Amino acid sequence: MSRIAFYGNFSTKDDILTSIITGLQIEMVDRIGSPFREPITEQWYVGLFRLVKEKADVLKNIFAAGFQSKYLELINEILQRHKNMATEEVYLRLFWCGGIVNAVIYWLSHGLKESPEEMAVISNKFLYNYNESTCIKDERFHG
C-alpha cells in the first residue's frame, strides 16, 4: 500500500487499530463461528486459541503499544452492536469477553507456554456456565 493510499484510508491510530481488530473479529467468526449463535464447545476454544497464536505478532504489537484497553473497548463495541439486547445478555457478553481478553493478553505476554488445546480446556472449564447459557434463539441477539 502506498503512503498516499494509507493516509487516505486511515486518519488516526484509532482508525488503524479499529480496522485491524474488526478484521480479526471477522476472521474469527468466519473460521470458528460466533460465540453467541450456538453453545461454545472446547473445540471452539481450540479454534480461538489457534487463531490467537497465528496472529500473535499482531496482537503482541497492539498490546506492547499500550492498546489493551482500546482493544477491549473495540471488542465490547462489536459484541454489543444490537440495540435491543437484554441487559442480562449485555453483562453476560461483557463478563465472558473480559475473561477471554485478559486470558489472551496474559497468554501472549507470558510466551504462549500453554498449547491452544490446553487453553481450550482451561477456558471451557472456567467458562462452562456461560457456555450453557449463551445459546440465544432470538435472532435479535445474534452477534
Taking only the tens place, the pLDDT of each residue in 16-38 is 888 888 899 889 989 998 887 77
CATH superfamily of 3-137: Tetracycline Repressor, domain 2 (1.10.357.10)
Residue-range domain boundaries for the chain: 3-137
| Cα atoms found within 13 Å of the Cα of residue 64, Cβ hemisphere only | 9
Cα–Cα distance measured from residue 127 to residue 65, given in angstroms and rounded to the nearest whole number:
29
Residues 6+ apart with CB under 8 A from 96: 35, 127, 130, 134
- Is residue 51 within 8 A of residue 28, CB to CB? The reply is yes
pLDDT (average), residues 93-122:
94
pLDDT, tens digit (0-9, with 9 covering 90-100), for 92-105: 888 888 999 999 99
Residue 78: strand, helix, or coil: helix
pLDDT (average), residues 73-86:
82
- Is residue 93 within 8 A of residue 79, CB to CB? The reply is yes
Going 54 to 70 to 34 to 25, the CA torsion angle's sign is negative
